[in-house]
Amino acid sequence: MNFQSCLEKQDRLKKSFSSHHTSEERYSKIIELGRSLTSYPTESETPEHLVKGCQSLLYLKSTYENGIMYFVAASDALISAGLASLLLSIYSGEAPETILKCPPSVLTELQITNYLSQNRANGLRSLYLKMQQDALKALSLPRTQ
């Protein structure tokens, strides 16, 4: 399987953070990304869409259409919304297999997890895990011809 688009999206993220060197600058960039999240359907603010393990309220809704996963998210905290925006920018529009096999290595490369609190880092891991779980569910759906 080719993960080129996933890797390209991560490269674009790296470039968008290239002028943000300090943790304060990166936090500002993450907050900016959080403000740019598309609107989330309030009827989907349900326990089923709640990301467990996140310090703030964070919702993730996935849809699976024609072999592609799409995600929307919302949070009551701008940092969490920004972290969600990072992962959505990588994985929304990708095949489930890509979500399962192309890790978000850009987060390590940008050292984003190094300056997050333990709770925020756990929330980010929980969000990625929920995306992977949704991808697995999508793969288990019966194929239609």
Kind and range of the H or E run holding 69: strand 68-75
Is 9 part of any domain? yes
Give the number of other CB atoms < 10 A from CB of residue 23: 13
pLDDT digits over 60-76, tens only? 999 999 999 999 999 99
Q: Tokens representing 42?
A: 């309030």
Is 25 part of any domain? yes
Is 83 part of any domain? yes
The H-assigned helical ranges of the chain are: 4-17, 23-35, 78-91, 96-101, 106-109, 118-140
Give the number of other CB atoms < 10 A from CB of residue 91: 25
Determine the pLDDT at residue 145.
Answer: 43
Domains: count for the chain: 1
Average pLDDT over residues 73-95: 95
Task: CATH number of the domain at 59, please.
Answer: 3.90.1010.10
Q: From CA 96, how far away is CA 75, in angstroms rounded?
A: 23
Q: How many residues does the chain have?
A: 145
Domain that includes residue 43, residue range: 4-139
State the sign of the Cα–Cα–Cα–Cα dihedral 133, 128, 9, 78.
positive
Is 144 part of any domain? no
Determine the pLDDT at residue 143.
Answer: 62
Is 145 part of any domain? no
Is 26 part of any domain? yes
